[in-house]
A and B are shown apart, each in its own frame.
Chain A
């Protein structure tokens, strides 16, 4: 087995030092080593978006990222967004609009939606659909999800 690589990063606001095997995926690090199981393993090849996280504020598929590449970076997972006051309208909109069915895709959807809203604060349905095209919902609950994110965008804009 290869030796471990020492890295330091900020995970959900907490500075963290870790020793990780170089071949480990960021997703495995989060779930198996850090116990952050909100981020889901769906397809393992970047097709479904269930493992979406934010790295330095930008959304990525954590299943495609090497954990060693967390070094020096700021990571936000769904657990981080769960306590993020600025994301209150987004989470509430998923609840109010029924944007959750089985829930498996939800963490990835919410994290990717956060990124969409950060990039396009006044996003309408078309921008939201484009932004979420890398996230699959096998309950096919897309309509409610898009409504939720558009509602959150409007709520954010109204609060400005």
Chain B
């Protein structure tokens, strides 16, 4: 194990970004992913352990100009319980309710869930269908990256080692937006999903527009279902369309066999669960 040479717990963002500037720091937030990954030898400490939990700016939740911004340090419990989040983006609050256990939700943060870039990360599929932007900061500047372009592989993203995720910015859903999140695993608590599906669209006179579909745990990264979206966009949502969308989704995903489910089973789940989600949307 690499020894940690320095431990830093700055109280302001600029100090944290300065510490990150050389790309020599391991970022610590909730620790729920970092600790087991270190213990399992999947991750090695960099020379600086940078605890960002003392930076109050990263805890803010703000609504304005048609968007909601959620600070990177907002815990999963806060996502679930914060009335502003529940009102603005209920899908995210709902997904948080399916996340791990109470103890993990109390520690784990939304920024950490995004940074960890797991194909099965529970907030990632809702963030994809909510069209979130990942807010990144470094000592040299700031940038926003759409969620759909953020992940590059399991545990990998476009975040540079000198960058910190400061938060997520989401457009407030329009009126008549319908959204759903389904996570499928073998038990409700603490399970890493076998598959998950997120769906969001505007439903007007039986037609869907602004359709966003995302899938978790069926590829190297959480993914947008672009082909499925194209099938659904602008068309009358009837039984025929639902069947076509479910079949498209089944073809579009790229699952693997692992200990949680086989690729075949995951495709079946995606087909059947998307059909169920769309039937539920049509019946409301």
* Nearest CB of A to B19, in Å: 14
Minimal Cβ-Cβ distance residue in A for B39: A44
Residue B45 interfacial (CB < 8 Å):
yes
Residue A79 interfacial (CB < 8 Å):
no
Minimal Cβ-Cβ distance residue in A for B104: A46
Minimal Cβ-Cβ distance residue in A for B7: A22
Q: Are B31 and A45 touching (Cβ within 8 A)?
A: no
Q: Are B101 and A134 touching (Cβ within 8 A)?
A: yes
Decide yes or no: A59 and B31 within 8 Å by CB, A22-B49, A68-B51 being known contacts: no
A5 to B53, CA, bound (A): 16
* Nearest CB of B to A153, in Å: 16
**Contacts between chains A and B (CB distance < 8 A), count:** 88
Residue A64 interfacial (CB < 8 Å):
yes
A46 to B39, CA, bound (A): 12
Minimal Cβ-Cβ distance residue in A for B188: A133
Q: Pick the contact of B7 from A58, A63, A68 — CB < 8 Å? A: A68
Residue A92 interfacial (CB < 8 Å):
no
A85 to B53, CA, bound (A): 32
Q: Are B53 and A69 touching (Cβ within 8 A)?
A: yes
Q: Pick the contact of B103 from A2, A3, A23, A49 — CB < 8 Å? A: A49
Contacts of B5 in A (CB 8 A): 2-3
Decide yes or no: A46 and B189 within 8 Å by CB, A60-B106, A65-B31 being known contacts: no
Contacts of A116 in B (CB 8 A): 102
* Nearest CB of B to A79, in Å: 18
Contacts of A52 in B (CB 8 A): 103
- List 10 tightest A-B contacts by C-beta distance, closest first: A134-B101, A133-B189, A22-B7, A45-B36, A2-B4, A22-B4, A2-B3, A61-B103, A64-B35, A5-B7
Q: Name B's A-contacting residues (CB within 8 A).
A: 1, 3-5, 7, 9, 28, 30-32, 35-36, 38-39, 45, 49, 51, 53, 77, 100-104, 106-107, 188-190
